[in-house]
Amino acid sequence: MAVHLKSGREIERIRAAGRVVAGALAAAGKAVGPGKTLRQLEQVCDEYIRSQGGYPTFLGYRGFPAAVCIGVNEEVVHGIPGRRRLADGDIVKVDVGVTKDGLIADGARTFAVGRVKPEVLALVAATERAFWLGAAQAKAGNRVSDIGHAVQTYVEAQGYSVVRDLCGHGVGTNLHEDPSVPNFGRPGQGMRLVAGMTLAIEPMVNMGRHEVETLANGWTVVAADRKPSAHYEHTVLVTAGEPEILTRGN
């Protein structure tokens, strides 16, 4: 497993891409509402990314046909935005990758559409909280599995499940780099974290069981039991001190 430790200049460029990710997600969040189509949300993100001198990394990646990934309710990740309209009570996941000056940042949010059931809002909040607990372990000297253990321990204590068939990853020079960053596992296992690593940490949390399926389109991953799923992601820099969130924005 080869991990590319980023130089100071590369980190600055990933941070610049991260600011565009944050802006695109903020724009998407403002555009979310009943009646909006997923394609309209994609266009909002795409236009913002390009206005900032970036390129939507997902477009054409391994043949993916859209600028961003957008999924609704039981759709976990890799949703293809189309004509579907959001409805009151939905949750919508927007996953954005940005390439700027040759470097890449990646981030995702789950947004509530109108009046969402309290138990679904609790799932969304728990997913975000799980991210912050996992990211806090992204310190030089810790192990990759310390991140996933923190996520899993919290998520399962809330009565939810972490998706096991998909995981976070290194990011920066390429969209997917080593190491893989699972959202579960025993602590103290796997690669030791080193300053200069940039990781996409992304809990994917199901209200029901952890099993997932891929739809016939070959991309969209859904919860096998069709219960709601939430997603939260930032690009995180491992340092000698506290981790730095590179997709936080200004």
Q: Each residue of 97-114: pLDDT tens digit?
A: 999 999 999 999 999 999
Domain boundary assignment for the chain: 8-245
% of residues, the chain, pLDDT over 70: 99
Handedness of CA 24, 11, 248, 141 (dihedral sign): positive
Superfamily, domain 8-245:
Creatinase/methionine aminopeptidase superfamily (3.90.230.10)
3-state DSSP helix/strand/coil % of the chain, to nearest 5: 30, 25, 45
Q: Is the pTM of this model over 0.85?
A: yes
CA distances from 122 to 29, 32, 87, 205, 246 (A): 18, 19, 19, 11, 26
What pLDDT does residue 2 have? 80
Give the pLDDT mean for 215-243: 97
Residue 161 has pLDDT above 80, yes or no: yes
Residue 216 has pLDDT above 70, yes or no: yes
Residue 250 has pLDDT above 80, yes or no: no
What pLDDT does residue 249 have? 75
Phi, psi of 19 (to 5 degrees): -65, -35
Contact at 8 Å (CB) between 185 and 149? yes
For the chain, the average pLDDT equals 97
102: exposed, middle or buried (C-beta count within 10 Å: 0-12, 13-18, 19+)? exposed
Give the pLDDT mean for 120-132: 98
Residue with tokens 């923190």: 150
Q: DSSP alpha helices (H): ranges in 89-179?
A: 118-135, 144-157
What pLDDT does residue 159 have? 98
Each residue of 168-208: pLDDT tens digit?
999 999 999 999 999 999 999 999 999 999 999 999 999 99
Under DSSP, is residue 111 helix (H, G, I), strand (E, B) or coil?
A: strand
Residue 1 has pLDDT above 90, yes or no: no
Residue 116 has pLDDT above 80, yes or no: yes
